[in-house]
């Protein structure tokens, strides 16, 4: 059984997508065993409570250093024997201590086709707003392994979403979630749970 720890900051829709796929049997060999939020008012904490999942809020500002913050997150996940960490809309930046401890065992979902519209400051509606301003015809979502620098880790899966002429940042965000994020995050978890992801430098090979 793959034991998953989730890092969240907001509504937890990606967390819910994972929980739905566990319930459906698609991720039958997986279980979410711990949730950490960076915000006390995150609705994702209520989702965890509804499923009886241990959950806490750890705010960056309550720690003297990034190392201390990393250490607290690691300690909580180690306590719950987490095998894989998913960053599901987590808005706090983590440091080297976290990324090295969970090297190739922590994944992030980002709402664009990396390397476009990504990096520090690109969260929430911003990637969608920037995609529309730039005039690209295709956007999407990316799942990648976590490294210390935001959105730079090896890419695991990407899924495109075509932009409509009448899209707003809000409508595009909704479609990227529904058509891409909620599909490739569970798919990545399944591949990881089956031992099918092989990291070779910057490339991730999927074993057949």
List the catalytic residues.
110
Task: Reduce the DSSP state of residue 101 to 3 states and report it.
Answer: helix
CB neighbour class for 1 (10 Å; exposed up to 12, middle 13-18, buried from 19)? exposed
CB atoms within 10 A of CB 139: 25
For residue 40, the surrounding DSSP H or E stretch is none
Question: What is the C-alpha separation between 60 and 107, in angstroms, rounded?
Answer: 20
d(CA 52, CA 142): 29
Specify whether the CB–CB gap between 89 and 11 falls below 8 A. Answer: yes
Query: What's the CA gap between 65 and 67, in Å, rounded?
Result: 5
> How many whole angstroms separate alpha carbon 2 and alpha carbon 17?
16
């Amino acid at each position: 059984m793959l034991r998953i720890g989730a890092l969240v900051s907001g509504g937890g829709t990606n967390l819910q997508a994972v929980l739905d796929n566990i319930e459906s049997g698609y991720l039958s060999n997986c279980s979410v065993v711990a949730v950490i939020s960076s915000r006390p008012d995150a609705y994702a904490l209520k989702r965890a409570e509804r499923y009886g999942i241990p959950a806490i809020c750890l705010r960056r500002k309550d720690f003297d250093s990034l190392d201390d913050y990393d250490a607290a997150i690691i300690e909580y996940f180690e306590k719950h024997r987490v095998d894989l960490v998913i960053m599901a809309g987590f808005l706090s930046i983590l440091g080297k201590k976290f990324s090295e401890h969970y090297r190739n065992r922590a994944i992030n979902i980002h709402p664009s086709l990396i390397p476009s519209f990504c990096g520090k400051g690109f969260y929430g509606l911003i990637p969608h707003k920037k995609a529309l301003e730039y005039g690209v015809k295709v956007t999407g979502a990316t799942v990648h392994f976590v490294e210390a620098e935001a959105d730079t880790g090896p890419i695991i899966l990407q899924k495109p979403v075509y932009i409509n002429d009448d899209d707003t940042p809000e409508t595009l965000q909704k479609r990227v979630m529904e058509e891409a994020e909620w599909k490739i995050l569970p798919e990545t978890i399944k591949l990881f749970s089956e031992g099918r992801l092989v990291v070779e430098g910057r490339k991730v090979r999927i074993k057949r």
